[in-house]
Amino acid sequence: MKICVIGSGSWGMALSIYLANQGNTIKVWSFSEEEKNKINEEKKCIFLPNVDLPKGIVCTNSYEEALQEAEIILHVTPSKFVRNTIKGYKDFVKPEQILLMCSKGFEAGTNLTLDEVIKQELPKIKYGILSGPSHAEEVAIGVPTALVVASKDDAVKQKVSDVFKSNLLRMYHTDDIKGVEIGGALKNIIAFCAGAAAGLNFGDNTFAMLATRGLVEITRLGISMGGESKTFYGLTGLGDLIVTCGSKHSRNRRAGELIAKGYSIEEAKKEIGMTVESIDNIDVAYYLSQKYGVEMPIVETVYDVLYNQLEPKKAVDILMTRELKAE
| Domains of the chain and any CATH numbers | 2-175 (3.40.50.720), 185-320 (1.10.1040.10)
Amino acid 80: pLDDT: 95
The dihedral built from the CA positions of residue 11, 14, 19 and 22, taken in this order, carries a sign that is negative
Amino acid 327: pLDDT: 87
Amino acid 305: pLDDT: 94
Amino acid 22: pLDDT: 97
d(CA 11, CA 268) in angstroms, rounded, equals 20
98-153 residue pLDDT tens? 999 999 999 999 999 999 999 999 999 999 999 999 999 999 999 999 999 999 99
* Cβ neighbour number for residue 109 with a 10 Å cutoff: 10
26-76 residue pLDDT tens? 999 999 999 999 999 999 999 999 999 999 999 999 999 999 999 999 999
Amino acid 181: pLDDT: 98
d(CA 270, CA 210) in angstroms, rounded, equals 26
Long-range contacts of 42-45 (CB under 8 A, 24+ apart): 45/8, 45/10, 45/13
Question: Residue 153: which residues within 8 A CB-CB, separation 6 or more?
Answer: 126, 127, 128
The H or E element spanning position 197 is helix 177-199
209-264 residue pLDDT tens? 999 999 999 999 999 999 999 999 999 999 999 999 999 899 999 999 999 999 99
Backbone phi, then psi, for 168, in 5-degree steps?
-105, -20
Contact 200, 312 (CB under 8 A): yes
Question: Residue 131: which residues within 8 A CB-CB, separation 6 or more?
Answer: 104, 147, 148, 150, 180, 181, 183, 184, 235, 236, 240
Catalytic positions are 187
Residue type, 236: T
- The neighbouring-strand residues paired with 169 are 145
- The neighbouring-strand residues paired with 251 are none
For the chain, give the longest Cα–Cα distance: 60
Q: What is the pTM of this model?
A: 0.95
Q: Is 248 exposed, middle or buried (0-12, 13-18, 19+ CB in 10 A)?
A: exposed
